[in-house]
Amino acid sequence: AQKITQTQPGMFVQEKEAVTLDCTYDTSDQSYGLFWYKQPSSGEMIFLIYQGSYDEQNATEGRYSLNFQKARKSANLVISASQLGDSAMYFCALRWGGFKTIFGAGTRLFVKA
């Protein structure tokens, strides 16, 4: 069965520093996608970054990068140069079999000034 795990309930980071949010997954499917979403206090879910199982390069989107280690089944999100506006809940998601998606429990990130 598919599984996705975020082991860090909460993280603190100093403004302008980089932070890594952990995500591990398990699936027997060869084709799958890994997504990260940000949920600020306003509640909406904002898509950040995507990594496909066959992608050889790690995905990057501005200050966000995904450290994809397929053999370890990890897809950690790296936020460089943290900003106060990055304080939010972050969810890792695994998508397989077309539309099936499961989410991790989330990591709450606090950025300190």
Partner 1 sequence: EAGVTQFPSHSVIEKGQTVTLRCDPISGHDNLYWYRRVMGKEIKFLLHFVKESKQDESGMPNNRFLAERTGGTYSTLKVQPAELEDSGVYFCASSRGIKSTDTQYFGPGTRLTVL
Among 59, 79, 95, 107, binds partner 1 (CB under 8 A): 95
Among 25, 68, 90, 96, binds partner 1 (CB under 8 A): 96
Rounded to whole angstroms, how far apart are CA atoms 13 and 111? 5
Rounded to whole angstroms, how far apart are CA atoms 4 and 24? 6
Rounded to whole angstroms, how far apart are CA atoms 38 and 61? 13
Smaller CB separation from partner 1, 43 or 85 = 43
Q: What is the 3 state secondary structure string of 26-58?
A: ECCCCCEEEEEEEECCCCCCEEEEEEECCCCCC
Among 1, 28, 56, 99, binds partner 1 (CB under 8 A): 99
Site for partner 1 in 11-50 (CB under 8 A): 29, 31-33, 35, 37, 42-47, 50
Q: How far is the CB of 69 from partner 1 (least distance, A)?
A: 18
By CB under 8 A, how many residues form the interface with partner 1? 28
Residue type, 22: D
Rounded (5°) CA angle 4-84-35? 25
Among 91, 107, 109, 111, binds partner 1 (CB under 8 A): 91
Residue numbers of the site for partner 1 (CB under 8 A)?
Answer: 29, 31-33, 35, 37, 42-47, 50, 52-53, 91, 95-106
